[in-house]
Amino acid sequence: MNILQLYEDFNIPHATEGQKNSQTGWINITCPFCDDHSNHLGYNLTGDYYHCWRCGSHSVKQTIAKLLNVNQQEAQKIIKQYGGKTYSKEPTVRIRSKAHKFPSGVGMMKSNHKRYLERRGFDPDRLEEEWNLFGTGPVSLLDGIDYKHRIMVPIYWGGEQVTFQARDITDRHKLKYMACPKDRELVHHKDILYGQQEAWGDTGICVEGVTDVWRLGINAFCTFGIEYTNKQIREITKAFRRVYVIFDDERQAVRQAVKLVNELKFRGIDAWRISIQGDPGSMKQENADHLIKTLLS
């Protein structure tokens, strides 16, 4: 679909490669489905699908209808006018299989990586030991994707590294977090949970992202954003009897936390939403430790 022409014809502000929160192969806009203020909704030019990096996937027809304030029947006609396909069912995005590996230039964290973590109130030596973190320098590439100046976060499942995330330490990059290319993931990250799986007990602390897990410790796990999948729900119900959900205090995050709690309760899990100010990753460590001690006591 000629999405650029559609956006221009209907005066929809958009970001192309090199602009805020947009990378190669994507055209990004402000997501109309969540409290997005920073172009998190991307249209994939190759796969012909939408994905919001905050609230998840949305069908093309549903998204165009929402953006243009028309019904889905009218949206389907507009999509066809701009060369788009009109699916009776949205296409499934398939993950190809390549060898899983880190980008080039990955090594032990340097002083700049550790200073970044210290500024955020973390003990970098402890995180390096407990979470097996690495870092990249000024040159780091994988499949043509630039991962320079990032903390590399290996993600394990069943005792094996299956994927990774990479966090920018400069706070100047348009994408704070970058994932492993999908066709190099041994297991798609939205099919699993991040945390120290081997250390989990009956009670789990569900958070949004990896830094939240680091703050709250070995009882915590994350769903890689506030949007969760049915596969992740199944993994949660297999792993825990009680779950406390601690998402950020933004309106959309609160709604998703409440929804997740209800989903888990429906499946027989003793689930609760815990309200905090801000996000767990920004808590002072002593406050986070006290919260966990209170929840597990």
* Better pLDDT: 160 or 36: 160
- pLDDT at residue number 37: 75
Residue 26: give the domain boundaries. 3-81
Same domain, 292 and 206: yes
Most trustworthy range by pLDDT among 6-10, 81-85, 106-110? 106-110
Whole-angstrom Cα distance, residue 259 to residue 284? 27
* Domain's final residue, options 191, 218, 252: 191
Same domain, 220 and 280: yes
Whole-angstrom Cα distance, residue 8 to residue 94? 30
Q: Answer whether residue 97 is part of any domain.
A: no
Q: Answer whether residue 99 is part of any domain.
A: no
* Domain's final residue, options 191, 214, 237: 191
Same domain, 187 and 226: no
Provide the number of structural domains found in the chain: 3
The pLDDT tens digits of the residues spanning 189-246 come to 999 999 999 999 999 999 999 999 999 999 999 999 999 999 999 999 999 999 999 9
Q: What angle do CA 78, 94, 185 make, to 5 degrees?
A: 130
Q: Answer whether residue 39 is part of any domain.
A: yes
Q: Check pLDDT > 60 for residue 135.
A: yes
Give the CATH number, domain containing residue 57.
3.90.580.10
CB neighbours of residue 195 within 10 Å: 26
* Domain's final residue, options 167, 191, 215: 191
- pLDDT at residue number 86: 56
Same domain, 54 and 112: no
Whole-angstrom Cα distance, residue 60 to residue 116? 38
Q: Please state the separation of Cα 53 from the chain's center in Å.
A: 6
Provide the whole-model pTM. Answer: 0.69
Same domain, 114 and 205: no
pLDDT band (50, 70, 90) for residue 84: confident
- pLDDT at residue number 89: 44
Same domain, 202 and 286: yes
* Better pLDDT: 90 or 24: 24
